[in-house]
Amino acid sequence: MRTEPRFPAALERAQALFEDEQATAAVETALILPIALTVLALLVYGAEGFAIDRKVTLTARTVTDLITQATPTLYSGGSSVVAAAAIDSNLQVASAVLTPYTAANMTMVVSEVLVAANGATATVQWSEPYNGASARPANQVLTLPPSLGTGQGGSYFILGEVSYTYAPLQLWTPLGTIVLSGSIYLTPRQSTSITCHNCATPD
């Protein structure tokens, strides 16, 4: 008795195996894809956040440098007098450093501080805010960074502070806003100190 080869059954088994492999690949893709997209999103967020953070630091440096070099309207008692309007203009100019990122999310405050005799703290002499920031109150005591060095008692410094609210693009992984900030102390260039005329926190 002759037995016919059972090709249809073999084909059915091969087809079933092929379909199982497709199903396995689909499951693996479904498991890996969200992780891969999350990693990609974090890379995008991280690169953009790093770029903005660098610009925030540069903006703080720029605005503080501009204020320390501001041309005074007059000198009084060894201090160069600068109008609040001139300081506001320098703050606006410095905001352009953030380009191409929007400056609408950025706030700035520039203040002059007088270092105490101990060299570890300083008191606010005047302060001027920008873009909705709050000026520092007069005579507020600040702890100076160790990097400022010793022997600075009696010296005046201009403190520039910049904050930026970074809102990442909502691609695949939703993230909340992150506040990036930078600050720097620089000495006045035109005289030993600067008097701000009509600043938010007057001298």
Give me the pLDDT at residue 28, please: 63
- Pairing status of strand 178-186 against strand 156-166: antiparallel
Give me the pLDDT at residue 22, please: 57
**β-pair partners for 81:** 74, 195
Give me the pLDDT at residue 23, please: 57
Is 162 within 8 Å of 59 (Cβ atoms)? yes
Encode pLDDT of 139-186 as tens digits.
999 999 988 877 889 999 999 999 999 887 665 556 678 899 999 999
Encode pLDDT of 84-118 as tens digits.
999 999 999 999 999 998 889 999 999 999 999 98
Read off the tokens for 172.
Answer: 């695949």
User: In the chain, what is the straight-line distance between the N-terminal and C-terminal CA atoms, in Å?
Assistant: 115
Encode pLDDT of 107-116 as tens digits.
999 999 999 9
Query: What is the C-alpha to C-alpha distance for residues 108 and 134, in angstroms, rounded to an integer?
Result: 9
- The per-residue pLDDT of the chain, averaged, comes to 83
Give me the pLDDT at residue 104, please: 92
Give me the pLDDT at residue 21, please: 54
Inform me whether the pLDDT recorded for 55 exceeds 70. yes
Task: Look up the pTM and report it.
Answer: 0.76
Give me the pLDDT at residue 194, please: 94
Which residue reads 């990122």 in tokens?
101
3-state secondary structure 127-192: EEEECCCCCCCCCCEEECCHHHCCCCCCCEEEEEEEEEEECCCCCCCCCCCEEEEEEEEECCCCCC
Phi-psi label, residue 174: left if phi above 0, alpha if psi -120 to 50, beta otherwise: beta
Q: What are phi and psi of 180, to 5 degrees?
A: -105, 140
- Pairing status of strand 193-197 against strand 79-83: parallel
Give me the pLDDT at residue 79, please: 85
